[in-house]
Amino acid sequence: MGRIDAHFVAAGKYHDIDFARLEVLKLLAEHQNIRTTVAIDYSNTERLSACQFLVTYTCDVLPTPEEVTAIKAFLDKGGRWLALHGTNSILRFVEGGVDCPEERDDLMEVLGTQFKAHPPIGPFRVEISDRTHALTKGLEDFDVIDELYITKTKAPIQILMQTRFDGEATGFVEADYDNVVVPILYLRQHGKGAVLYNTLGHCRSHYDVIELMPFWEHPERCGWNYPVYYETLRRGICWAMGEID
């Protein structure tokens, strides 16, 4: 296979973006034919149009409506988007907790979901809901300690891995959930292209929430502590390259 160009947007709030950026770049570097550019926003749509795939690890970083239009065109023509963790998040600190307003459906419909809340970091079981797909074939259900990303579905998606949540997402405006299905890994088709979304992979260092707390006592690595998470990322990169359909 010849050269493959990729564009990686890594930026955002309340996460150890430096750690996540480095880990993803190391995984991309396992493929000598991938050439990657890295950005802190979505503004370089000219570069995106020259790439085969887009990777994002962000939190509360949104493309403009014009940039969403460019991303949709990229996908419709066959581009692939590997979206990680907080890519679908909008966060507003208001009286009563963290609000996740549904004010950017243009973006969330492209991604297929919007983040709404998460309970405190803790253990949950991830179920392989489609064992026949190449992205999940051979994987077994597994337990993980991570942020459980409760989302609202905005467009048709194909769920490959999931969990369920029943209880309170403490600190969020929309906090109460009754045995809801929570997608963990899913596909969203777009013309000749697609989005693959993986919600696992929270991380935070001592200094990533200085707006709220000058020193975060216990750094968090969550899904990054588990080989199975790296396996899903490696498969996601192979999918983005077109080696997995």
Record the pTM.
0.98
Let me know how many helices (H) and strands (E) the chain has, helices first. Answer: 5, 13
pLDDT at residue number 234: 98
Distance of CA 39 to the CA centre of its chain: 16
Classify 76 as helix, strand or coil: helix
End-to-end CA distance of the chain, in Å? 16
The values of phi and psi at residue 86, to 5°, are -90, 20
Is residue 117 within 8 Å of residue 141, measured between CB atoms? Answer: no
d(CA 230, CA 232): 5
pLDDT at residue number 211: 87
Q: Where do the H-state alpha helices sit in the chain?
A: 17-28, 45-49, 65-76, 105-111, 227-241
pLDDT at residue number 129: 98
Give the pLDDT means over successive 10-residue stretches in the chain (245 positions): 95 98 98 98 98 98 98 98 98 96 98 98 98 98 98 98 98 98 98 98 97 93 98 98 94
**Top CATH class, 4-241:** alpha beta
